[in-house]
Amino acid sequence: GENVEQHPSTLSVQEGDSAVIKCTYSDSASNYFPWYKQELGKGPQLIIDIRSNVGEKKDQRIAVTLNKTAKHFSLHITETQPEDSAVYFCAAPLSGSARQLTFGSGTQLTVLP
């Protein structure tokens, strides 16, 4: 069944503005939350991840926040650039599985010049 819900499905921002993508998960036991970026014609690539023992993690212009109580996590991209345009996927461990990830449905981010 559905384990991860991702919103919005599309997002357009002006270059230099911030972008936020949100995901909710259902299994309170989940402890790992990665974000993948997929450029056109390519496979997804891990850009940042967070584990359940921290509330926020940053890597230059990218940050991820985690709210375990509300069971949601978000990707924040600041000072967006045209090369940030891509599809972004969140993921979480599949409920009841020791080996599988379940992915959100993806967000198409477009950074307008």
Partner 1 sequence: NAGVTQTPKFQVLKTGQSMTLQCAQDMNHNSMYWYRQDPGMGLRLIYYSASEGTTDKGEVPNGYNVSRLNKREFSLRLESAAPSQTSVYFCASTLFGQPNQPQHFGDGTRLSIL
By the criterion CB under 8 A, which residues form the site for partner 1? 6, 9, 31-32, 34, 41-46, 49, 51, 89, 93-94, 97-106
Nearer to partner 1, 51 or 58 (CB): 51
CB neighbours of residue 70 within 10 Å = 8
Nearer to partner 1, 44 or 65 (CB): 44
User: Do 4 and 91 form a contact (C-beta atoms < 8 A)?
Assistant: yes
Burial of 98-109, coded b for 16+ CB within 10 Å and e otherwise, reads eeebbbbebbeb
Minimum distance of partner 1 from residue 15's CB (angstroms):
26
Nearer to partner 1, 93 or 111 (CB): 93
